[in-house]
Amino acid sequence: MEYFIQQLINGLTLGSIYGLVAIGYTMVYGIIGMINFAHGDIFMLGGFAALIVFLIATSFFAGIPVALLLLLMLLVGMLMTGLWNWTIERVAYRPLRGSFRLAPLITAIGMSIVLSNFIQVTQGPRNKPIPPMVTDVFHLGAITVSLKQVLIVVITAVLLFAFWYIVNRTPLGRAQRATEQDRKMAALLGVDVDRTISITFIMGAALAAVAGAMYLMYYGVASFNDGFIPGVKAFTAAVLGGIGSLPGAVLGGLLIGLIESLWSAYFSIAYKDVATFAILAFVLIFKPTGILGRPEVEKV
């Protein structure tokens, strides 16, 4: 039983990270109907930004408080990846909006290749380990909960609340929802569609950057090809929850995290990715709309 709860906690931590990345996928898909293939690499970029901030901050201020350091990593990472994703949307996706359907997908795949290879070239192909930042652990009976796990879940919860507030309670969020429902109509009613889409990309990237920084904190290592597998898993989460649905993305992320850690604990660790991909296939085959998604009606 303790073992099960322990795995549940691990799964929840991992799931929070996937959920944050999944929101970026689901928002972009909802608003312009494209799979942003480069989103996983945006997540990786966020991890690298956090890594570099960590190195600079610790070398200048040796005794910097961990809370301040973490805040700095998250903020710089969010700004940095937000800027990157804004540029990417402007350069590679916007000119192809309204072009044929495969075109933005191909540029997104190209962008994903460019981003991971750009980091490989500029920062080197080796894994980048950092010393552990947060080492405290709590013991509750036989269950161990580390402070970093608590931090990840809490930060995710706070961000999700902020995000929910923006989407549901602000004019910006209203513009986003309007653009998602009907882009042309939204434009006619005075919503600046281009700006709304840009902000959506920035928001998605900021959440991915937080996920990247926390991934770095959790595993203590960053690598240029960290983007692909977590990216596909986060996409799986978005699809599982119902693509286009924000609560669905979080729910899907948590489910994928739980499935992955429970599968590794009880079955085989080698096949954990196979399990995730198989779930993706099964969900799409039997319930393509996901858990919370709306069915898509096809018109002639």
Partner 1 sequence: MTAATETGHPNVLAKAVREGLFAGVVSFFMFLLFVGIETYQDINNALVWRTRWGLLAIFVVVAAVGRFLTVGFIKPHIDRRKLAKAKSGVLEISEQKNFFHRHFLKIALIFLLVYPFLSLLIVGKQGSLKYVDNFGIQILIYVMLAWGLNIVVGLAGLLDLGYVAFYAVGAYSYALLSSYFGFSFWLLLPMSGILAALWGIILGFPVLRLRGDYLAIVTLAFGEIIRLVLINWTDVTKGTFGISGIAKASFFGIWSFDTGTTNNFVKAWGLSASSVYYKVFLFYVILALCMLTAYVTIRLRRMPIGRAWEALREDEIACRSLGINTVTTKLTAFATGAMFGGFAGAFFATRQGFVSPESFVFLESAVILAMVVLGGMGSLTGIALAAVVMVGGTEVLREMSFLKSVFGPDFTPELYRMLLFGLAMIIVMLFKPRGFVGSREPTAFLKERRAVSGSFTKEGHG
- Summarize as ranges the residues that interact with partner 1 (CB under 8 A): 29, 34-35, 45, 48-49, 51-53, 55-56, 59, 76, 80, 83-84, 87, 91-92, 95-96, 99-103, 105-107, 109-114, 117-124, 126, 128-130, 228, 232, 235-236, 239, 270-271, 273-274, 277-278, 280-281, 284-285, 288, 298, 300
Name which of 156 and 236 has its Cβ closer to partner 1.
Answer: 236
Q: How far is the CB of 93 from partner 1 (least distance, A)?
A: 10
* Phi, psi values for residue 39, rounded to 5°: -65, -35
User: Cβ closer to partner 1: 7 or 223?
Assistant: 223
C-beta of 111: minimal distance to partner 1 in Å? Answer: 6
Query: Between residues 175 and 260, which has the closer beta carbon with respect to partner 1?
Result: 260
Q: Least distance from C-beta 183 to partner 1, angstroms?
A: 17
* Cβ proximity to partner 1, 54 vs 218, nearer residue: 54
Least Å distance, CB 114 to partner 1, is: 4
**Structure tokens belonging to residue 21:** 């990345």
Least separation in angstroms between residue 155's CB and partner 1 is: 21
Kindly state the smallest distance separating residue 83's Cβ from partner 1, in Å.
6
Taking the least distance from each CB to partner 1, the nearer of 50 and 251 is 50
Which one, 1 or 285, has the nearer CB to partner 1? 285
